[in-house]
Amino acid sequence: MIVATRFGAKERDGMPDEVGDDKNLGGSGLQVIEDITCPVCGCLCDDLRVTLQGQQLQAIEGACSLAKPWYEAVCRASATTHEVTGIPASLDEAVGKAIALLRKSRAPLIYGLSRSSTDGQRKAIELAEMLGATIDTTASVCHGPSIMAIQQVGESTSSLGEVRQRSDLVVYWGCDPVRSHPRHLERYSAEPLSEFLPGGRADRTIVVIDTQETETSQLADVFLRVSPDRDYELICEVRSLLLSFRLGDGPHPMPVSPEAERLFQLLSTCRYGAVFFGLGIAQGRLGHQTVAVLLRLVAEMNAITRMIARRMRIPGDVAGADSVLCWQTGFPFAVNLGRGYPRYNPGEFSANELLERGEVDCCLFVGSESISEFSTAARAAICHLPVVTLESAHVLPEVRPDVLFRTAVYGVHCRGTGYRMDEIPISMRPFLPGNLPTDAVVIEKLAERLRDS
């Protein structure tokens, strides 16, 4: 007998949970929870199916090769106590010590936020405002150059749902989604059948542009190899072919590479093109200039067909961190609130550079995993600073903190909202009850204590 339950569906703000496909498999003791959202990468797949026996994870269907070990680690994790200088402490003791460190600080840095959720991100910004801190997200070591390019030239975008329905040409440029976003092709770009593409994969052309063969290029219809840091020239050549085509000038007057000719032929003959680009171009030598020229090309292609560009965002809610920071301050990352109003300047207020220059005297990390991307000098600087870290139980902090808060994982232990890589907010609901506070609760406690002092 199957009995519908509302497991994990605590009321929030007086509103009942609207998702209700959970099932108890009568007699077996197994509980099946459907439509779980995976927060591991920017795809935020929301169709996972979890089977629990009591508090034990029995199976997780729909989880890819990245998600499965992550869920197993989260569900196995046993570290549940907060720590002060490595010694177990109560939440109140940890808050007291963290406040003592933050109060003494004249140039605090709040960094991370991409493993958080809208509530945690809002609270972190509120705290940064109270402290007059600099607040930065993991975008500054990831797609920061792309954000700057978007600010310069704008972007032609769509939701992943539109790509799924309409895109007969998909270009992956400088990224390898089979490894970094394993279900991207299956859910959005290559395999879905739709009204406009009833043949699914057979109706779509997949192109990979990269400096070397990748797992994605092996599945692609066309692989175009570019020399390292030659993406900029390739894009300029294609723009010049497009201009010539639009002017109807006949043969292009300048010689261009065969790769540019092939790419222009593909782009100009599709009905709906989607260009997904990754750190391969955003973190290249010309960084934001290359992304800017790519965004211009995609916008210009709309004169002859429909085309969009999207970033391949990596951590689960990095898009949310940028979005929430934008609502609250007007800027997406590297924001300083030291003067009582937001100032934005990547490089000047980016976490890595601030640390390198010794302009931080206390760090609060809301998730510390991307600290591994910092320079050696920035990492060395952290070792000499007071550090407060909020981390979920399955993660070993990247640096030894003075105060460590263990927090619940959104989408596993608690409810939250994450932003998919196309900036669509997706609800994440819990399936495993836990005793740990969310990062939003911890940060609110810090803020309350500061307010009261």
- Which residues here bind ligand SF4, judged by CB under 6 A? 38, 40-41, 43-45, 63-64, 66-67, 181-183
Q: How far is the CB of 40 from ligand SF4 (least distance, A)?
A: 4
**Torsion region of 112: left, alpha or beta (phi above 0 gives left; psi -120 to 50 gives alpha):** left
Q: How far is the CB of 208 from ligand SF4 (least distance, A)?
A: 18
- CB distance 210 to 174 below 8 Å: yes
Read off the DSSP letter of residue 89. E
Nearer to ligand SF4, 160 or 388 (CB): 160
Nearer to ligand SF4, 22 or 46 (CB): 46
Tokens representing 350?
Answer: 């980016």
Q: How far is the CB of 165 from ligand SF4 (least distance, A)?
A: 19
Nearer to ligand SF4, 38 or 390 (CB): 38
Q: How far is the CB of 435 from ligand SF4 (least distance, A)?
A: 25
**Torsion region of 174: left, alpha or beta (phi above 0 gives left; psi -120 to 50 gives alpha):** left
Residue with tokens 């590479």: 257
**CA-based nearest residue to 266, from 159, 195, 172:** 172
Distance CA 8, CA 32 (A): 12
Q: How far is the CB of 190 from ligand SF4 (least distance, A)?
A: 13
Listed in sequence order, the residues at least 6 apart from 60 whose beta carbon sits closer than 8 Å to its beta carbon are 36, 48, 49, 50, 51, 67, 68, 71
Q: Residue 296: enclosing H or E segment and its boundaries? A: helix 287-301
Phi, psi of 369 (to 5 degrees): -60, -35
Nearer to ligand SF4, 181 or 415 (CB): 181
Q: How far is the CB of 421 from ligand SF4 (least distance, A)?
A: 10
Tokens representing 122?
Answer: 């809002």
Nearer to ligand SF4, 233 or 317 (CB): 317
Q: How far is the CB of 411 from ligand SF4 (least distance, A)?
A: 10
Nearer to ligand SF4, 41 or 442 (CB): 41
Residue with tokens 């000719």: 261
Nearer to ligand SF4, 122 or 183 (CB): 183
Residue with tokens 């279900």: 183
Nearer to ligand SF4, 19 or 91 (CB): 19
The alpha carbon of 69 is separated from its chain's Cα centroid by a whole number of angstroms, namely 19
Q: How far is the CB of 80 from ligand SF4 (least distance, A)?
A: 25
Q: How far is the CB of 1 from ligand SF4 (least distance, A)?
A: 31
Q: Residue 97: enclosing H or E segment and its boundaries? A: helix 91-104
Tokens representing 431?
Answer: 């399936």
Nearer to ligand SF4, 62 or 174 (CB): 62
Tokens representing 218?
Answer: 């092996």
- For residue 402, the number of C-alpha atoms closer than 13 Å in the C-beta half-sphere is 19
For residue 91, CA distances in Å to 61, 133, 234, 267, 327 come to: 35, 23, 55, 56, 30
